[in-house]
Amino acid sequence: SRRVKLFGVEIDALRMPEVVSEIWRQIDSPDSTAQYVVTPNVDHAVLLQEDPGLQSAYAEARWVLADGWPVVWASRFLRQPLPERVAGSDLVPNLFASASEEKKLSVFLLGAAPGVAQRAAAQIEQRWPNVTVCGTYSPPLGFEHDEAENERIIEMINAAAPQLLVIGLGAPKQELWIARHHSKLKIKAAVCAGATIDFLAG
């Protein structure tokens, strides 16, 4: 699909329904590599300039989507228009809503404060009966530097074997984490989703 270069970031010119169907195509494919979504907003542009690790996390992402309207406005101003905003916090509920009796969706929630992800899990399963939350985990502060903890998290996710991983660790932690570990994960797709788990907890 078409990509637009803004603030040094290549962003996919896709609408929400197109993204949802592309993610389903990935979920249904035999592809064993986990593909992930990042959703830049204007303050990521600043982080990106200063962080080569984040730049490569972005470069490896299968989908790069405009999180906020300012990114879309900038694209229009620069005459390389993006069709709309596709925020992680909208994408995740849209994916859940696209699950059906024929196409059930299993999800693992990584991130948010202890208790919050469990509350989100209960809300999700009540609101979208075709979605199963097969695991949740809130890693402790500083976990990303603890190799044994990272191994445990990967094992936990792989044992739960979700199709989709929702990562709510905030930027740039979530992008750096998935870039570093996606090749070890037995999942189909992941979304770096900021505070979405908090929103879903209600």
Q: Binding residues for ligand UDP, per CB under 6 A?
A: 111-113, 138, 141, 168-171, 173, 194-195, 197-198
Q: Given the complex with ligand UDP, which of 73 and 199 has the nearer CB atom?
A: 199
What minimum distance in Å lies between the beta carbon of 196 and ligand UDP? 8
Taking residue 84's Cβ as centre, other Cβ atoms within 10 Å add up to 15
Taking residue 116's Cβ as centre, other Cβ atoms within 10 Å add up to 20
Tokens of 75: 């694209």
What minimum distance in Å lies between the beta carbon of 39 and ligand UDP? 9
Q: Given the complex with ligand UDP, which of 30 and 142 has the nearer CB atom?
A: 142
Q: Tell me which residue has its CB nearest to ligand UDP.
A: 194
Q: Given the complex with ligand UDP, which of 187 and 197 has the nearer CB atom?
A: 197
Question: Rounded to 5 degrees, what angle do the CA atoms 15, 18, 20 make?
Answer: 110
> What Rg, from alpha-carbon coordinates, does the chain have?
16
In the beta sheet, which residues pair with residue 125? Answer: none
What minimum distance in Å lies between the beta carbon of 79 and ligand UDP? 29
What minimum distance in Å lies between the beta carbon of 179 and ligand UDP? 15
Rounded-to-integer distance, Cα 134 and Cα 45, Å: 34
Tracing tokens 């994960």 back to the chain, one arrives at 185
Q: Given the complex with ligand UDP, which of 130 and 180 has the nearer CB atom?
A: 180
**H-type alpha helices, the chain:** 16-28, 42-50, 52-60, 69-77, 88-98, 116-127, 147-160, 173-181, 196-201
What minimum distance in Å lies between the beta carbon of 143 and ligand UDP? 7
Q: Given the complex with ligand UDP, which of 111 and 135 has the nearer CB atom?
A: 111
